[in-house]
Structure 1
Amino acid sequence: MSDEQNSAPEAASQNQSAPTPDPAPAPPESHSEKATEEDVYEALEEVIDPELGLDFVSLGLVYDVVIENEEVFVTFTLTTPACPIGPQVSEQMREFVGDLPGVSAVHPKMVFDPAWTPEMMTDDAKFALGF
């Protein structure tokens, strides 16, 4: 047999792909993943002050985030104690933070001490509001 005859079956077998196994399916999202403080702050950026049109993080309204096991505790304030959106904000925090992997419960806590001041805003928020 010549080299050409030997290489023809070899070339044909190289062109025929052996069936490749399906890739392993991605594991389902599990509670073994833990949300980080950064993840929580990022989720809280979805909570928007309806009057100002800016998020609570940029406005400096989120005072603290504590993660204990699968529970997240968020301490926040409002621009003024007379602001009526407290319940709505708490619900949004539960929704957005609760969607993070590894979070089983979200506990928003509204406080007014220390009182919020415009100096607590990020520079971008100050610029957007003309400060």
Structure 2
Amino acid sequence: MESHMENAKDPRPTVDAEQSLKDRVWDALRECYDPEIPVNIVDLGLVYEVVIDDSLAGEANVYVKMTLTAPGCGMGPIIANDVKRRVQMVADVKNVRVDLVFDPAWNPGMMSDAARLQLNMF
């Protein structure tokens, strides 16, 4: 008799053999948004660093260092949890650590041109 768990599908998307783990992690980060701004956190310039330790095949540890648009932003824990959840869904990722930092302080100059266009800042 098969258990329910044996029939459960892995919620992680299938892996594109052409796309590196690094690219898949960055794509996952581009799916994260500050709920108050309609631009993803990568284009906003909130992600300062991504470190991937993939020395064990299929069990990568990912470290994300990021900031918020303002130190007092009440959405910080929600955004950090969304980052962790989305990156953990990337195939081959086992652990994710997200650190919120405020040095250097974020400023609008850190946004991509696409973000500036989207927010009519040109």
TM-score interval, normalised by the smaller of the two chains: 0.7 to 0.9
Give the secondary structure class of the aligned counterpart of 1:72: strand
Shift of 1:50: 0.9
Distance 1:72 1:113 in 2: 21
What value does the CA root-mean-square deviation take over the aligned residues? Answer: 2.2
The Cα offsets for residues 2-57 of structure 1, whole Å up to 9 and x where unpaired, read as xxxxxxxxxxxxxxxxxxxxxxxxxx98xxx9962221111001111111111100
Aligned to 1:52: 37
Aligned to 1:120: 110
The Cα offsets for residues 54-94 of structure 1, whole Å up to 9 and x where unpaired, read as 11001010000000131100000000001011111111111
Aligned to 1:68: 53
**Which protein shows a greater Rg?**
1
Give the helix-richer structure, 1 or 2.
1
Distance 2:61 2:27 in 1: 16
Residue 89 (structure 1) aligned with residue 79 (structure 2): yes
> TM-score scaled by structure 1?
0.71
Unaligned runs of 5+ residues in structure 2 are 1-9, 55-59
Q: Structure 1 residues 35, 88: CA separation in 2 closer, same or farther (over 3 Å shift)?
A: farther
Q: Structure 1 residues 99, 35: CA separation in 2 closer, same or farther (over 3 Å shift)?
A: farther
Give the secondary structure class of the aligned counterpart of 1:124: helix
Distance 1:53 1:84 in 2: 17
Q: What one-letter code is carried by the residue in structure 2 that aligns with 1:110?
A: L
Unaligned runs of 5+ residues in structure 1 are 1-27
Number of aligned residue pairs:
102
> TM-score scaled by structure 2?
0.76
Distance 1:109 1:103 in 2: 17
